[in-house]
Amino acid sequence: MAELKEEELIKIRRHLHQIPELALHEVETHAYLMKVIQAMNQEHLEVKEFEELPTALMVLIHGSQPERTIGYRTDIDALPVEEKTGLPYKSTHPGVMHACGHDIHMTVALGVLSYFSEHQPKDNLLFFFQPAEESEAGGKRAYELGLFKGQWKPDEFYGLHDNPELPAGAIGCRMGTLFAGTTEVNIDIEGKGGHAAFPQDANDAVVAAANLIVQVQTIVSRSIDPIDSGVITLGKITAGTIRNVIAGHARIEGTIRGLTQDMILLIDKRLQEVCNGIEASFGVKVTLGLNQGGYWPVENNPKLTKRFIQYMSDAKNVNFIETKPAMTGEDFGYLLAKFPGTMFWLGVEDDSQLHSATLTPKESSIKRGIDAITGFLEYRMNAKEE
Ligand SMILES: CC(=O)N[C@@H](CCC[C@H](N)C(=O)O)C(=O)O
């Protein structure tokens, strides 16, 4: 047994990349993670699975002189995106892809875990392999199901997200808010179907939906202080069956983002008002469903994040970049509201954005990320408390 080498980590990442699974269905991923972890030095390791959240996994490395339990979280799910990278190790699961880089996240976590399985840490280290980040709020579920109990409760929590806009291996972070809070939006419009030739006898849900979509564009442009930040994106619309039948139903799905909870609530309220207006002017029934789940703004803890940034800025082997807040969401925001901690970016340098079918993170970022994180954790465990 020895800690995982760079070429082994790359093999692991490529295997994970080939078996992406959607939120709460990460069965093969879970089994593969178990296999990799079981091949590590088990001397100080304890592994826990959970009947109530079967694809989740926690691993505790018992420290030599523990004063605290330091948590490290990685997400493990993928997205419903058909991969178009053409890579030899592309997804083998049709219509599903690690288009948000969670394969990189998991590999970095395994690398850090493998390092500390061979170099016993002073404090306890708790690794949380979390299902369902992209949807279904896996972090909140885990918390509400009581997974963080007894020795499985972190005193502080860290986690990363990959960032194609940063150079490979760079660490990005900031004090305060790193990511937005998000709310999932579902809008159902009920009109009356009919023949394309007799619109007067029907009530066209497509026309109502089109107007609603246009009016929604005024929420950010007209109701929000331009100095503040808010987003509403309607990413999916479905309606109708054929060109010559007037659709009686339309469904629109989207997402709201804000750097503060007040901003999210303001957009929620304005969206409800727009829906009410469409109901009144088109005589349709509009049902608005809003679900924030666990996607709270990601607020970095001041004391821990100051220490994190200090270490990363000073470390000779780390390219540290102070970043702006981003409108991406993360259910780690929920866990950071329960446990103090820090979320940060790992640069993976790519022209494609997160959630794109051509995302190809640079694999050299994996080892550099592991070195930066293990260095930080060692420093953290040995640093004197102020
Ligand atoms: C990092 C990232 O891309 N996260 C997702 C989180 C999704 C939140 C939720 N399902 C929503 O769509 O509102 C993101 O899309 O930012």
Q: What ipTM describes this predicted complex?
A: 0.94
Using 50, 70 and 90 to split pLDDT, how confident is the model at 110?
Answer: very high
Strand 69-75 versus strand 124-130 pairing type: parallel
Task: Please tell me whether residues 187 and 163 are part of one structural domain.
Answer: no
Is it the case that residue 359 has pLDDT exceeding 90?
yes
Task: Please tell me whether residues 11 and 159 are part of one structural domain.
Answer: yes
User: For ligand 1, is residue 23 a contact (CB within 6 Å)?
Assistant: no
Is it the case that residue 189 has pLDDT exceeding 90?
yes
Give the residues across from 289 on adjacent strands. 186
pLDDT at 282: 98
Q: How far is the CA of 255 from the centre of ligand 1 (A)?
A: 8
Using 50, 70 and 90 to split pLDDT, how confident is the model at 2?
Answer: confident
Task: Please tell me whether residues 254 and 322 are part of one structural domain.
Answer: no
How many H-runs (helices) and E-runs (strands) does the chain carry? 9, 16
Q: Give the helix/strand (H/E) hosting 184.
A: strand 181-190
Q: With contact defined as beta carbons under 8 Å apart, do 83 and 11 qualify?
A: no
Within the chain, where are the H helices? 6-18, 27-38, 102-118, 138-144, 205-223, 261-282, 302-314, 332-338, 364-382
Amino acid at 331: D
- Pick the residue whose CA is nearest to atom 4 on ligand 1: 329
Where among 291, 307, 337 does a domain terminate? 291
- Count of Cβ atoms closer than 10 Å to residue 372 Cβ: 25
Q: SS3 of 287, please?
A: strand
Residue written as token pair 């199901």? 145
Distances (CA, A) of 209 to 203, 262, 285: 12, 27, 11
Provide the domain count of the chain: 2
Instruction: Identify the CATH number of the domain in which residue 96 sits.
Output: 3.40.630.10
User: For ligand 1, is residue 161 a contact (CB within 6 Å)?
Assistant: yes
Using 50, 70 and 90 to split pLDDT, how confident is the model at 383?
Answer: confident
* Residue 1, in any domain of the structure: no
Task: Please tell me whether residues 332 and 287 are part of one structural domain.
Answer: no
Say which of 134, 162, 330, 350 is annotated catalytic.
134
Where among 228, 258, 291 does a domain terminate? 291
pLDDT at 370: 98
Q: How far is the CA of 330 from the centre of ligand 1 (A)?
A: 6
Task: Please tell me whether residues 164 and 217 are part of one structural domain.
Answer: no
User: For ligand 1, is residue 191 a contact (CB within 6 Å)?
Assistant: no
- Pick the residue whose CA is nearest to atom 14 on ligand 1: 329
Where among 291, 307, 338 does a domain terminate? 291
pLDDT at 386: 64
Instruction: Identify the CATH number of the domain in which residue 207 sits.
Output: 3.30.70.360
Task: Please tell me whether residues 187 and 69 are part of one structural domain.
Answer: no
* Residue 279, in any domain of the structure: yes
Q: How far apart are CA 109 and CA 81, in angstroms?
A: 24
pTM over 0.90: yes
User: For ligand 1, is residue 354 a contact (CB within 6 Å)?
Assistant: yes
Is it the case that residue 271 has pLDDT exceeding 70?
yes
Q: Residue 99's domain spans which residues? A: 6-179+297-382
Say which of 21, 75, 204, 349 is annotated catalytic.
75
pLDDT at 168: 98
Task: Please tell me whether residues 59 and 173 are part of one structural domain.
Answer: yes
Q: How far apart are CA 149 and CA 266, in angstroms?
A: 36
Q: How far apart are CA 30 and CA 54, in angstroms?
A: 9
Tell me whether residue 134 is one of the annotated catalytic residues.
yes
pLDDT at 172: 98
Task: Please tell me whether residues 127 and 154 are part of one structural domain.
Answer: yes
| Shortest-distance atom of ligand 1 to CA 257 | 13
The total number of residues shown for the chain amounts to 386
* Residue 374, in any domain of the structure: yes
| Shortest-distance atom of ligand 1 to CA 256 | 13
Q: How far apart are CA 222 and CA 230, in angstroms?
A: 12
